[in-house]
């Protein structure tokens, strides 16, 4: 299974590469990058002219719902959606049923993904056992089983003492803590961002300070314990500022945002659109601007989707009752490419945030096309125009606020360890 990807614009920030080149893949690894490479006998050739050839994209924050909630998504459908969206690796959050708080569940996910999946799946174990916020899970064994981080994503670790100890303990085990920063007492019964829109349409608001306070707390705990921390789904102006200042002080903090936080505002909720309901909620224009500024100046390291599939029955309900979250794997690339069009990021910076940085943050040994690296490669068609339609999505769930949107850019071809897993 050899492969020659010819004539594309190869962009690999890991080796500061940007030029029209050929990529030769042999036995699942990158053999050579250069001009005028000749395909060995029996190799498949992909014409990438007019396309970008980049290290396989990595989504460090998805929910695959497997095991236990397969009616929303499973490892096969979820990784198929990943491949369609140009992602060769995803990190799946532990709020499955049962929770990824032990070696057996982690192994099940890894094995199933290896056997049947269309992308690498790196599980994230839980910080606390059963996500109950009460007792640390077996982080050492989770790491051994293949978990690349721990997180209670979906809810915060409310108890500051427990969070402090988790950061310390995880540091000792060499595993990263990803925090869902949210102060629940400030969220109350809120269901959308607190602002003029919530005032006008009469939905209970979630103030930005609920995120900011928790971000500040976790950054301070990381600073105090000299432990690394990663802040998930940053959505507010305040959080960006707190992280920027912490980074300047040398705190080992990294963070991610999601395409919806730099694409939509809480105006999308008008009409009580449950597909615009997520946690943290869509914010306001000032926050969108701050997120873009944070991406531009490097405060925000990664773009992750927080792909959160929910069944129609969980979204086709009254707004307060609807579940939080939207799918994102198949819309992330075009929405993120727009940052390049809009001059927020260079193409190289975008690839860093969608591939190199997530790999570095989590130690995945991906995010590069260096000779000898695993041949996870995404070929991007930057000009193809398409419409987001429910029945064309590979994900089992269709809960996207972008349905009906006309977007530009898609994964023309996704290569997983030298094997073509998706072609447009």
Partner 1 sequence: MAEFKHKDIIALRDLTKEEMELLLSTAESMREINSRDIKKVPTLRGKTIINLFYEASTRTRTSFEIAGKRLSADTVNITTSSSSTTKGETLADTALNLLAMKPDIIVMRHSVSGSHYFLSSKMPGCSIINAGDGTHEHPSQGLLDMLTIKDRFGRLDGLKVAIVGDITHSRVARSNIQGLTKMGSSLFLAGPPTMMPPGAERLGNVTVCGSMQEAIQDADVVMMLRIQQERQGKTLMPNAREYSRYFGLNPQNLKLAKPDAMVMHPGPINRGVEMSSYVVDGGQSHILKQVENGVAVRMAMLYHVCGGELE
What residue ranges bind partner 1 (CB under 8 A)?
194-196, 198-205, 271-272, 313, 316-321
Question: 410 with 384: CB under 8 angstroms?
Answer: yes
306 is catalytic: yes
CB 56 within 8 A of CB 90: no
Angle between helices 75-84 and 103-116 (to 10 degrees): 50
Judged by CB, which is closer to partner 1: 197, or 239?
Answer: 197
Q: d(Cα 325, Cα 280) in Å, to the nearest integer?
A: 9
Distance of closest approach, residue 257 Cβ to partner 1, in angstroms: 23
CA dihedral over 347, 12, 57, 94, signed as positive or negative: negative
Smaller CB separation from partner 1, 161 or 200: 200
Dist CA 58 CA 85 (whole Å): 10
In angstroms, give the least distance from the CB of 194 to partner 1. 6
Q: Which helix (H) or strand (E) holds 229?
A: strand 229-231
Q: Is the dihedral of CA 289, 295, 297, 301 positive or negative?
A: positive
Three-state SS at 85: coil
Least gap, CB of 264 to partner 1 (angstroms): 18
Shortest gap between Cβ of 315 and partner 1 (angstroms)? 11
Minimum CB distance to partner 1, residue 191 (Å): 9
Q: What's the Cα-to-Cα distance from 158 to each of 97, 217, 225, 349, rounded to whole Å? A: 21, 10, 17, 34
Q: Residue 314 CB, nearest distance to partner 1 (Å)?
A: 10
- Identify whether the C-beta of residue 89 lies closer than 8 Å to the C-beta of residue 366: yes
**Comparison of 205 and 409: residue with beta carbon closer to partner 1:** 205
Asked if 30 and 372 count as a contact pair (C-beta separation under 8 A), the reply is yes
Which one, 49 or 185, has the nearer CB to partner 1?
185
CA distance 87 to 336: 13
Q: Which is nearer to partner 1, 269 or 377 (CB)?
A: 269
Nearest Cα neighbor of 74 from 101, 96, 107 is: 96
Nearer to partner 1, 247 or 277 (CB): 277
Which of 74, 101, 152, 306 is flagged as catalytic? 306
Residues designated as active site = 306
């Amino acid at each position: 299974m050899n492969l020659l990807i010819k004539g594309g614009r190869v962009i690999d920030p890991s080796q500061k590469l940007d030029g029209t080149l050929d990529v030769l893949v042999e036995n699942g690894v990158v053999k050579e990058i250069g001009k005028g490479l000749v395909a060995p006998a029996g190799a498949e050739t992909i014409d990438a002219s007019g396309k970008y050839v980049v290290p396989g994209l990595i989504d460090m924050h998805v929910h695959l719902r497997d095991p236990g909630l397969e009616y929303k998504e499973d490892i096969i459908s979820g990784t198929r959606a990943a491949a369609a969206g140009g992602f060769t690796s995803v990190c799946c959050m532990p709020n499955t049923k049962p929770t990824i708080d032990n070696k057996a569940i982690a192994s099940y996910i890894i094995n199933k993904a290896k056997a049947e999946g269309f992308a690498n799946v790196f599980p994230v174990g839980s910080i606390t056992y059963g996500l109950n916020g009460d007792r640390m899970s077996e982080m050492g064994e989770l790491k051994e089983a293949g978990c690349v981080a721990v997180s209670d994503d979906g809810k915060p670790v409310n108890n500051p003492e427990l969070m402090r100890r988790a950061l310390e303990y995880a540091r000792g085990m060499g595993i990263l803590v990803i925090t869902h920063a949210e102060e629940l007492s400030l969220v109350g019964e809120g269901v959308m961002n607190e602002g003029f829109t919530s005032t006008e349409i009469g939905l209970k608001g979630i103030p930005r300070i609920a995120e900011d306070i928790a971000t500040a707390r976790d950054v301070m705990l990381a600073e105090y314990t000299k432990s690394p921390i990663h802040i998930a789904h940053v959505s507010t102006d305040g959080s960006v500022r707190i992280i920027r200042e912490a980074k300047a002080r040398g705190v080992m903090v990294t963070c991610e945002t999601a395409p919806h936080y730099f694409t939509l505002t809480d105006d999308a909720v008008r009409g009580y659109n449950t597909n615009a309901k997520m946690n943290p909620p869509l914010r306001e224009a000032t926050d969108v601007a701050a997120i873009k500024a944070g991406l531009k100046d490097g405060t925000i390291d990664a773009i992750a989707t927080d792909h959160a599939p929910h069944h129609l029955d969980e979204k086709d309900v009254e707004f307060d009752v609807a579940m939080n979250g939207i799918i994102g794997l198949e819309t992330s690339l075009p929405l993120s490419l727009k940052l390049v069009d809009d001059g927020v990021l260079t193409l190289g910076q975008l690839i860093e945030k969608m591939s190199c940085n997530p790999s570095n943050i989590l130690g995945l040994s991906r995010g590069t096309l260096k000779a000898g690296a695993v041949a996870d490669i995404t070929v991007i068609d930057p000009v193809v125009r398409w419409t987001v339609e429910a029945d064309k999505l590979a994900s089992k769930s269709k809960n996207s606020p972008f349905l009906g949107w006309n977007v530009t850019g898609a994964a023309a071809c996704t290569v997983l360890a030298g094997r073509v897993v998706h072609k447009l």
